[in-house]
Chain A
């Protein structure tokens, strides 16, 4: 038997074959080669264990076609494949015939980047290429080698080529599948003699299973004699695991620029966990302040152990986790949780498992602290440290962060120069991201003509979207967007007027502005790039990316800057402290900009009249009444106010002034 490694990611290599090409259309259909007649076509069958994944009855350990040593691996690979699939394969009650086949990935937030009629997606199009493929299966040493060699066709080929499942690339699906397989492999034991896989069940005891259903579970729904939907007990899985979403926060309050080093520390610690050989597979994806993990039960693999470096560095990790049978795992916790609890349970015994929890983990309380408290973290006793005629009280840990480096030495020079300093932060709201992806997918499903996808099947697809791979893909695009933003802004602003305070952290930048209304130029740059990278997010007002700018004197307290920048309640947030504050979505911002940049003098006078009415305490209703009275003279302002009111109603806000954002923005564009 070959001593080649078992590479789970190779199970879908057949999807890179263009079976419709002139050379291959007569010899092969589909992407699995388990039943392929090698002798007839003069090929040599691979002997690598990865080959067994092509055999379709690998869902049970009793398969006679797979060598006993590898039956466990093949079964685990199939389980991981199911968990990683973007559309749940457990869901369909009446599985309809698959939709139209398309050879391109429909990127939900940017459909234009997918070529219309992709002809260059395939890696293997000729009979000679097939030889190359079989040879590669036999010689490939690692999944990294597979990804490196076939990256381009993997990114161009969808995981599932039928609409509306063609929303994620094969690359991303296999990346996710491979990680899940390796985590499962590390936390089970294959009992070859008894043909069982041993693992820890929901009670934390060792249990056994021998096929995909009894190990991982299956459908949620069945029908009783009366035709009512109930939870299907026959499909109950024994192996329970978790997807955990972790937000890494800190209690630190910045008082000096060196305190920004906490951002670097956080980023480096997260990166270390995500890249270390013994922990990287648990990390499905991560950003500078967030991790998404696939973990066994807490008593098998404790979150505190995995994230120990972060906890010891005084970070607070707030996390949400779903704990369920393997096949029911998804990152859309709320949706599946509510659906699960919506089932009308007729039986008394109720033992399918989906649990969702909000928790946190941190270093723990000390008994009591002697004053003075550390000014930065407020979680330890501070020691006096004198600097610039001022004595700070800082604990040892916070002082070590300060000692690391001086991130923004240019600020001292900017204090002597005219103009203001703008702190700019771009953030990705992970909670909004899942919601945005679901809504964009719903729109995609609805856009497919009825002759391809019937109405009665649309709901099933929407309900069974698993957005995890899509979230990974979006985060990748987000980082490309940040790189492009940095590249563009470096051309827009003089080098000596711009600084990214933390190396490799391009979500935060600080720049010197000569005029306040330069903020509008920065915002326009952001919007242009958003239109390039995420046009559907802009078009549909579904945007998880937040752009915040806070512009003040160079000596303005950094903590106040950071407090403003760290909120993510609206997509565009601009502030000049003491003068104006605008928080709005992209569409409304564009409308404000287009209308107010060219407002007439009479329009300006009318705006100030409205502000006086608002300030007198008469409320929005009087402002709207005056707007109604003058709507024919000042149509553009009336329209703006209407849209602001609609937006506030949508966000369930009330009592906030309608005229305030209009006036604030007018002051901004008029400010010199």
Chain B
């Protein structure tokens, strides 16, 4: 197995309640994801730390994984108020993550690719940022602690099943050598301050050859055409 020369920074994220929502379904239900996709971290880091880099879409590239035993799902109902009609709209049921019984906080491991912008903000950790939706209701207050550069073991290239979600265009940044089997999906990519498009992404379960920290379980079979 090779070692990669790319550098990654490991953070520990803790939070009391978090909602990284998918699209609302039927106008009444919004499910919550169980990983932190690269698009969410990109948006949160840019918002909180900013950057002077003109290539601002590519300075904060990272991915996050919740520790399975630390969280469970719950639902929260809200009825947004329509101030024009002066009445509540149809209630929406939102899924969110909260600490599992016996735990005090949700814990996640966040891995950010190194860049000039990342280097400038490392000094300010630990710090607080906000991630996900329902911020006005108190969701998404996260505490981030810097855990250091990733060691060689976590950076070994192995074939395995991807743990989270990242844009297809970001695979080089993460050191993914090849995608043997894509589990396809789309993630949001901002193209302006107020809008963006959905770009092709790799979802959980894709089989990749990449750094070990991205891999949930190693792939044990053949993937070449022949011996």
Total interface residues on A, using CB and 8 Å?
A: 53
Residue A337 lies at the interface, judged by CB distance under 8 Å to chain B? yes
**Are A316 and B25 CB-contacts (below 8 A) given A358-B207, A614-B101, A655-B69?**
no
Count class of interface residues, chain B: 35 or more
Residue A372 lies at the interface, judged by CB distance under 8 Å to chain B? yes
The answer for the CA separation of A250 and B124 in the assembled complex, in Å, is: 43
The answer for the CA separation of A393 and B23 in the assembled complex, in Å, is: 10
Q: Is there contact, CB below 8 Å, between A557 and B93?
A: yes
Residue A399 lies at the interface, judged by CB distance under 8 Å to chain B? no
Q: Is there contact, CB below 8 Å, between A375 and B25?
A: yes
Residue A494 lies at the interface, judged by CB distance under 8 Å to chain B? no
Q: Is there contact, CB below 8 Å, between A255 and B184?
A: no
| Residues of B close to A202: CB separation below 8 A | 226
Q: Is there contact, CB below 8 Å, between A615 and B185?
A: no
| Residues of A close to B103: CB separation below 8 A | 617
Stretch of B42-50, B137-145, B215-223 lying at the A interface: B215-223
| Residues of A close to B186: CB separation below 8 A | 369, 373, 378-379
Residue A438 lies at the interface, judged by CB distance under 8 Å to chain B? no
| Residues of A close to B28: CB separation below 8 A | 255, 390, 557
| Residues of A close to B182: CB separation below 8 A | 360, 362, 365
The answer for the CA separation of A559 and B28 in the assembled complex, in Å, is: 11
**Are A360 and B226 CB-contacts (below 8 A) given A365-B200, A559-B25, A614-B101?**
no
The answer for the CA separation of A350 and B221 in the assembled complex, in Å, is: 17
Chain A nearest Cβ from B176, distance in angstroms? 16
Residue A392 lies at the interface, judged by CB distance under 8 Å to chain B? yes
Residue A253 lies at the interface, judged by CB distance under 8 Å to chain B? yes
Residue A256 lies at the interface, judged by CB distance under 8 Å to chain B? yes
Stretch of B11-19, B108-116, B191-199 lying at the A interface: B191-199
Residue B3 lies at the interface, judged by CB distance under 8 Å to chain A? no
Residue B58 lies at the interface, judged by CB distance under 8 Å to chain A? no
| Residues of B close to A559: CB separation below 8 A | 25, 29, 31
Chain B nearest Cβ from A395, distance in angstroms? 12
Residue ID in chain B nearest A253 by CB atoms:
B25
Q: Tell me which of A375, A392, A578 has the highest count of chain B C-beta atoms within 10 A of its own C-beta.
A: A375
Q: Is there contact, CB below 8 Å, between B221 and A358?
A: yes
The answer for the CA separation of A367 and B199 in the assembled complex, in Å, is: 7
Chain B nearest Cβ from A375, distance in angstroms? 5
Residue B24 lies at the interface, judged by CB distance under 8 Å to chain A? yes
Q: Is there contact, CB below 8 Å, between A358 and B22?
A: no
Q: Is there contact, CB below 8 Å, between B200 and A366?
A: yes
The answer for the CA separation of A379 and B183 in the assembled complex, in Å, is: 12
Residue B180 lies at the interface, judged by CB distance under 8 Å to chain A? yes
The answer for the CA separation of A350 and B196 in the assembled complex, in Å, is: 53
Q: Is there contact, CB below 8 Å, between A371 and B197?
A: yes
Chain A nearest Cβ from B16, distance in angstroms? 15
Q: Is there contact, CB below 8 Å, between A358 and B219?
A: yes
Residue A487 lies at the interface, judged by CB distance under 8 Å to chain B? no
Q: Is there contact, CB below 8 Å, between B102 and A619?
A: yes
Residue B90 lies at the interface, judged by CB distance under 8 Å to chain A? yes
| Residues of B close to A365: CB separation below 8 A | 168, 182, 184, 200
Residue A391 lies at the interface, judged by CB distance under 8 Å to chain B? yes
Q: Is there contact, CB below 8 Å, between A390 and B27?
A: yes
The answer for the CA separation of A318 and B184 in the assembled complex, in Å, is: 12
Chain A nearest Cβ from B193, distance in angstroms? 15
| Residues of B close to A389: CB separation below 8 A | 90
| Residues of B close to A362: CB separation below 8 A | 182, 184
The answer for the CA separation of A255 and B25 in the assembled complex, in Å, is: 5
**Are A373 and B23 CB-contacts (below 8 A) given A355-B226, A366-B200, A557-B29?**
yes
Chain B nearest Cβ from A262, distance in angstroms? 14
The answer for the CA separation of A657 and B100 in the assembled complex, in Å, is: 11
The answer for the CA separation of A101 and B28 in the assembled complex, in Å, is: 65
Residue A251 lies at the interface, judged by CB distance under 8 Å to chain B? yes
Q: Is there contact, CB below 8 Å, between B222 and A368?
A: no
Q: Is there contact, CB below 8 Å, between B222 and A357?
A: yes
Residue B127 lies at the interface, judged by CB distance under 8 Å to chain A? no
| Residues of A close to B26: CB separation below 8 A | 255-256, 375, 390, 392
| Residues of A close to B178: CB separation below 8 A | none
The answer for the CA separation of A171 and B6 in the assembled complex, in Å, is: 59
Residue ID in chain B nearest A386 by CB atoms:
B27
| Residues of B close to A253: CB separation below 8 A | 22, 25, 31
Q: Is there contact, CB below 8 Å, between B222 and A356?
A: yes
Binary per-residue interface labels of chain A (235-255) against chain B in the complex, 1 for a CB within 8 Å, 0 otherwise: 000000000000000010111
Chain A nearest Cβ from B216, distance in angstroms? 13
Chain A nearest Cβ from B171, distance in angstroms? 13
The answer for the CA separation of A358 and B217 in the assembled complex, in Å, is: 13
Residue A370 lies at the interface, judged by CB distance under 8 Å to chain B? yes
Chain A nearest Cβ from B2, distance in angstroms? 22
**Are A350 and B227 CB-contacts (below 8 A) given A358-B221, A369-B186, A375-B25?**
yes
The answer for the CA separation of A391 and B24 in the assembled complex, in Å, is: 11
| Residues of A close to B227: CB separation below 8 A | 350-351, 353, 355
Q: Is there contact, CB below 8 Å, between A378 and B101?
A: no
| B23: contacting residue among A356, A372, A390, A560, CB under 8 A | A372
Binary per-residue interface labels of chain A (185-204) against chain B in the complex, 1 for a CB within 8 Å, 0 otherwise: 00000000000000000110
| Residues of B close to A371: CB separation below 8 A | 188, 195-198
| Residues of A close to B195: CB separation below 8 A | 371
| Residues of A close to B223: CB separation below 8 A | 357
| B221: contacting residue among A318, A357, A360, A372, CB under 8 A | A357
| Residues of B close to A578: CB separation below 8 A | 75
Residue ID in chain A nearest B206 by CB atoms:
A360
Chain B nearest Cβ from A566, distance in angstroms? 13
Chain B nearest Cβ from A381, distance in angstroms? 8
Residue ID in chain A nearest B25 by CB atoms:
A255
The answer for the CA separation of A376 and B29 in the assembled complex, in Å, is: 12
Chain B nearest Cβ from A559, distance in angstroms? 6
Residue A671 lies at the interface, judged by CB distance under 8 Å to chain B? no
The answer for the CA separation of A615 and B103 in the assembled complex, in Å, is: 9
The answer for the CA separation of A256 and B24 in the assembled complex, in Å, is: 12
Binary per-residue interface labels of chain A (619-658) against chain B in the complex, 1 for a CB within 8 Å, 0 otherwise: 1000000000000000000000000000000000001010
Q: Is there contact, CB below 8 Å, between A373 and B25?
A: no
Interface residues of A in 103-133 (CB under 8 A from B): none
Residue ID in chain B nearest A356 by CB atoms:
B221
| Residues of B close to A368: CB separation below 8 A | 189, 197-200
Q: Is there contact, CB below 8 Å, between B197 and A369?
A: yes
The answer for the CA separation of A656 and B203 in the assembled complex, in Å, is: 27
Interface residues of A in 343-362 (CB under 8 A from B): 350-351, 353, 355-360, 362
State the 10 A-B residue pairs at the shortest beta-carbon distance, nearest first: A255-B25, A390-B27, A255-B26, A365-B200, A369-B198, A557-B29, A356-B221, A617-B102, A355-B222, A368-B197
Known contacts A373-B198, A559-B25, A657-B101, then 14 further A-B pairs from the complex at CB < 8 Å, ordered by chain A residue = A203-B226, A253-B22, A254-B25, A357-B222, A365-B200, A368-B198, A368-B200, A369-B197, A369-B198, A370-B197, A371-B197, A379-B186, A391-B27, A614-B102
A to B CB contacts below 8 Å, 5 in the list: A316-B184, A353-B226, A357-B221, A390-B28, A560-B95
Residues of B within 8 A of A (CB): 22-29, 31, 69, 75, 90, 93, 95, 101-104, 168, 180-186, 188-189, 195-200, 205, 207, 219, 221-223, 226-227
Residues of A within 8 A of B (CB): 202-203, 251, 253-256, 316, 318, 337, 350-351, 353, 355-360, 362, 364-373, 375-376, 378-379, 389-393, 557, 559-560, 563, 577-578, 614-617, 619, 655, 657, 660
